[in-house]
Amino acid sequence: MAATEILHTCIRVLDEARSLEFYTALGFEERDRKRVGGDTATIIFLGLPGDGNRLELTLNDGRAEPYDVGTGYGHIALAIPNLEQELARLATLEIRPERAPYISGPGGSLICFVGDPDGYRIELIEKG
């Protein structure tokens, strides 16, 4: 039988506090954490209110150098009811878009991108 849903996305991060501050500002809640890999890493599961644990942050012990995000990674997309209001709120937390919001194409949604502390791009899509 084929897959029926995406369970979660994992990204590797360096600074737990900075990452949690960033993703909490976007509306995520910490749901669970555990030690894995023979006790060599911590994983933290995050979710949006009313949804499952969709984002896994992995912190590998002893890692000090930034991860190479690579050219294959694209972004995580989040639905935002009012993009202008959300960007104003995020600005108070020093989170700013890469560039001004824009329409993704004819008949498309208003979108913009923000970057997390480790360089991962997050797309904010207005869905009102």
Q: Which residues are catalytic?
A: 123
Strands (DSSP E) found in 17-88: 29-36, 41-47, 53-60, 76-80
Comparing C-alpha atoms, which of 52, 48, 64, 54 is closest to residue 13? 64
Cα distance between residue 118 and residue 66, in whole Å: 7
SS3 111: strand
Beta-carbon contacts of residue 122 (< 8 Å; ≥ 6 apart): 26, 75, 76, 77, 78, 113, 114, 115, 116
Contact 59, 14 (CB under 8 A): yes
